[in-house]
Amino acid sequence: MSKAEPPHGSSDSLRPQDAAVWGAVTHEIRTPLMGVMGMLEILSHTSLTEEQRRIIATAESSSLALMRIIDDVLDFARLESTSVTLTPAPTDIGALAEDCAAFVAGQAGAKGLTVTCETDPRLPRVMCDPVRVRQLLVNLCGNAVKFTDQGAVAVSVNMTSATSSNVNLRLSIRDSGIGIPEDLRPFLFQPFSRLAQGGPARSGSGLGLAICRRIVDLMNGAITVEAAAAGTGSVFHVDLTLPVAIAAGDDSRVLEGLRVLAVESDPVAIALTYLEAAGAAVTRLGGLGEIARRLAEMTQVAPGPVLVLVGPDSEAEDIAAVSGALKAMAHAAPALLWLRPRTAVTAAQSVDSISAYPLRRGELLAKAKRAADPAGAALAIVTRRAEPHTGFAVVREETAATARAEGRVVLVAEDNPINQDVLCQQLSILGFDCDIAENGASALKALETTLYPILLCDCHMPGMDGFALTKRIRELETARDADGAGRPRMPIIAVTANALPGEAARCLAAGMDDYLSKPIEIRTLSAMLDRWIPGAAAAGPLSAAGAESPAAQIVDTRNLAAIYGNEPERLARVLSEWCAGIEEGVQIIVSGFASQRLEAAVEAAHRIKGSAGIVGAYGLSADAAALETALRAGDTAAARAAARKVEATAVEAVARVRQTPGCERLAQF
């Protein structure tokens, strides 16, 4: 089971003595794992043979599996032995289910499986603990993928009944996997039970369903399973009664006047449910060959916007041909939208598309709304999902000297030598140098002579720990001398192996500014530095002397080109995946505004801000930062203006990156 990081203000209420015990346990277990996983990640960015990369990938996969098992064991033990409460918050449970389905889609795609998600258009926002609901859904979806070797996993959220104050929901996860033998069903939700004993080997602790049962019990719900004989798949249902937080937005008229020609397949059926609920008039077709004839008939009857919707069963080359034919029409061409399979296909890159596996309702409605009002719509961006890229190369030795000359030196308070080494390597990769303090007292001594832009502070160190160190630093910052001058506030980032819910809130309460949980990935550290150090992303490793100022250019990829100069194919992959990630992030922002679901837009803006700076798209990074600030402040007008600017800047930046010298093969990836 994979877990999201505990958010600030998480849900578990532990007695101080319980928190100390569980904190010590998780710290002692996760700290050595950080050394293993961190060094494996760093090693993977060096020059290696294919066989060496395969060995490292296996070790990384095994480490992640071990981490998940450890998390399961600790989480189950804590749920059983401590007093756990929930922290409800207004939650878009439909969007949350889509996020969980997307989270497991990569693992499913590697096995040749598809993941679909269908949510009830009538769903209001509800009051629930989103951390625990996400944990529940990811666990059930992950199990479905694990025990399915061919076919599909389908997630659905339906509103079975409702009153003015409460809704009854059924969350269902259906798979076409190995099924559940009848004699094993009574033991499903017991800890350490094994599903389908004697069947294909499956990794895991056997605790996932026991944890799910405990979470559902905390929510006063019910979890059940439907299964026939072994080999016929299974369906897990979770029934919950939740308070209404915010009534559902009225989507019944947002697509009124839009006509849709749909070439049907199973994923298209989900899309048509959403479109018809939003007021679109849908005509179902049997194949691509019917489009031209039906379109001609439709335009003869009455003018108006038309959307041609094609499912993932159609070949990319055929869709590209249809797109060309539609664009060649004498009059206004209809919009064409491809619900594409997970794998990007270069033959259809000119076709507007969104992922069908899983299909996100907000993205679909945003695309359809543009088709319904083309005159007022901004330029549509083709979304091509790519696997996250982990690639930073180990930078040259001169990085440390350059970083010190430019003031990019991080203070690291960490007592574990392995963790010190990992953080030093990761910071070097990101273009920073660091000073190491082995405990809080050493960190204070370093601060007497140097003003650092940021402190990465381990929470649990001998002597003066991270909490005591933070308290002392904040006291020094607020102290006034005779002239009334004070020490400038320094961002302090907690770095801890204590992954218990509530740890993040404890760090914030102690005066820290943010929270990193070990093991730390390079991309996570990069985003954190970008968030708290002005210009961190713009600095990057190996800054070229005499480079243009950020405001004077759209994108400057010289830093990445220097890193990957002897690996042109790898550079092409990095930039190709960067383009896909930027395009996807922009589409999430557009979809969020169209559906009034802005939580994902905030996250997308933050991701764009960090990744744009890394590649040298400083203007895009600044625009995304302005959008993130406006969204977090709730300034809708400013956010809409910033979103339009981000979209326009992204188009320019992506186009410029694809023209980068040395990346002529970019289109192949």
- pLDDT, one tens digit per residue, over 273-286 is 999 999 999 999 98
Contacts of 655 (CB under 8 A, 6+ apart): none
* Contact (Cβ atoms closer than 8 angstroms) between residue 582 and residue 612: yes
Average pLDDT of the residues of the chain? 74
**Choice between 297 and 534, residue whose per-residue pLDDT is larger:** 297
Most confident of 10-14, 127-131, 466-470: 466-470
pLDDT at 477 over 90: no
What is the C-alpha to C-alpha distance for residues 522 and 527, in angstroms, rounded to an integer?
9
What is the C-alpha to C-alpha distance for residues 317 and 320, in angstroms, rounded to an integer?
5
**Scanning the structure block, which residue is given the tokens 């309702």?**
361
Average pLDDT over residues 330-334: 65
pLDDT at 225 over 60: yes
Cis peptide before 358 (omega within 30 of 0): yes
CA angle 292, 293, 295 (to 5 degrees): 65
3-state secondary structure 485-500: CCCCCCCEEEEECCCC
**Scanning the structure block, which residue is given the tokens 């989507």?**
251
Q: Pairing between strand 335-340 and 492-496?
A: unpaired
Q: Band of the pLDDT at 603, cuts 50, 70, 90?
A: confident
CA-closest candidate to residue 588, choices 355, 357, 373, 262:
355
**Choice between 165 and 58, residue whose per-residue pLDDT is larger:** 165
For residue 412, what pLDDT is reported? Answer: 93
For residue 273, what pLDDT is reported? Answer: 92
What is the C-alpha to C-alpha distance for residues 520 and 630, in angstroms, rounded to an integer?
28
Q: What are phi and psi of 241, to 5 degrees?
A: -110, 120
Q: What amino acid occupies position 448?
A: E
Contacts of 329 (CB under 8 A, 6+ apart): none
User: In the β-sheet with 409-413, what is the strand arrangement from edge to edge?
Assistant: 433-437, 409-413, 455-458, 492-496, 514-517
Cα 537 to Cα 523, 612, 644: the distances in Å are 11, 8, 22
Other Cβ atoms less than 10 A from the Cβ of 85: the count is 10
Q: What amino acid occupies position 285?
A: L
What is the C-alpha to C-alpha distance for residues 103 and 135, in angstroms, rounded to an integer?
11
What is the C-alpha to C-alpha distance for residues 518 and 470, in angstroms, rounded to an integer?
19
Helix axes 636-657, 568-595, angle to 10 degrees: 160
Q: Band of the pLDDT at 119, cuts 50, 70, 90?
A: very high
For residue 613, what pLDDT is reported? Answer: 65
**Scanning the structure block, which residue is given the tokens 């909490």?**
467
pLDDT at 300 over 70: yes
CA-closest candidate to residue 171, choices 121, 102, 221, 113:
221
- What are the structural domains, with CATH classification, of the chain? 89-246 (3.30.565.10), 259-376 (3.40.50.2300), 398-525 (3.40.50.2300), 550-668 (1.20.120)
Other Cβ atoms less than 10 A from the Cβ of 275: the count is 25
Average pLDDT over residues 320-339: 78
For residue 416, what pLDDT is reported? Answer: 74
Q: Band of the pLDDT at 342, cuts 50, 70, 90?
A: low
Contacts of 137 (CB under 8 A, 6+ apart): 96, 97, 100, 155, 171, 173
* Contact (Cβ atoms closer than 8 angstroms) between residue 595 and residue 365: yes
pLDDT at 557 over 70: no
Average pLDDT over residues 545-571: 47
Q: Which of 142-151, 249-258, 535-544 has the lowest mean pLDDT?
A: 535-544
Q: Return the beta strands (E) in 448-543 as ranges.
A: 455-458, 492-496, 514-517
Q: Which of 33-37, 288-292, 442-446, 479-483 has the lowest mean pLDDT?
A: 479-483
Average pLDDT over residues 470-499: 75
**Scanning the structure block, which residue is given the tokens 């574990």?**
416
What is the C-alpha to C-alpha distance for residues 533 and 620, in angstroms, rounded to an integer?
17
Contacts of 564 (CB under 8 A, 6+ apart): 393, 570, 571, 574
pLDDT at 265 over 80: no
**Choice between 45 and 527, residue whose per-residue pLDDT is larger:** 527
Q: What is the largest CA-CA distance in the chain?
A: 85
Q: Phi/psi zone of residue 112: left (φ > 0), alpha (ψ -120 to 50 degrees), beta?
A: left
- pLDDT, one tens digit per residue, over 632-668 is 877 888 888 888 888 888 888 887 776 654 444 433 3
pLDDT-above-90 percentage for the chain: 16
Q: Which of 466-470, 580-584, 638-642 has the lowest mean pLDDT?
A: 580-584
What is the C-alpha to C-alpha distance for residues 117 and 96, in angstroms, rounded to an integer?
11
**What pTM did the predictor assign?**
0.52
Q: What are phi and psi of 399, to 5 degrees?
A: -60, -45
> 3-state DSSP: the chain helix, strand, coil percent, rounded to 5?
50, 15, 35
pLDDT at 31 over 70: no
Q: Structure tokens of 59?
A: 């070790």
Cα 458 to Cα 143, 248, 468: the distances in Å are 34, 43, 11
Q: Pairing between strand 492-496 and 455-458?
A: parallel
Q: Band of the pLDDT at 94, cuts 50, 70, 90?
A: very high
CA-closest candidate to residue 11, choices 91, 85, 90:
85
pLDDT at 271 over 90: yes
Most confident of 180-194, 362-376, 434-448, 508-522: 434-448
Contacts of 183 (CB under 8 A, 6+ apart): none
Contacts of 346 (CB under 8 A, 6+ apart): 316, 667, 668
Concatenate the DSSP letters of all residues of 306-324 into one string.
EEEEE-TTS-HHHHHHHHH
**Choice between 79 and 433, residue whose per-residue pLDDT is larger:** 433
pLDDT at 563 over 50: no
**Choice between 508 and 332, residue whose per-residue pLDDT is larger:** 508
Q: Band of the pLDDT at 615, cuts 50, 70, 90?
A: low
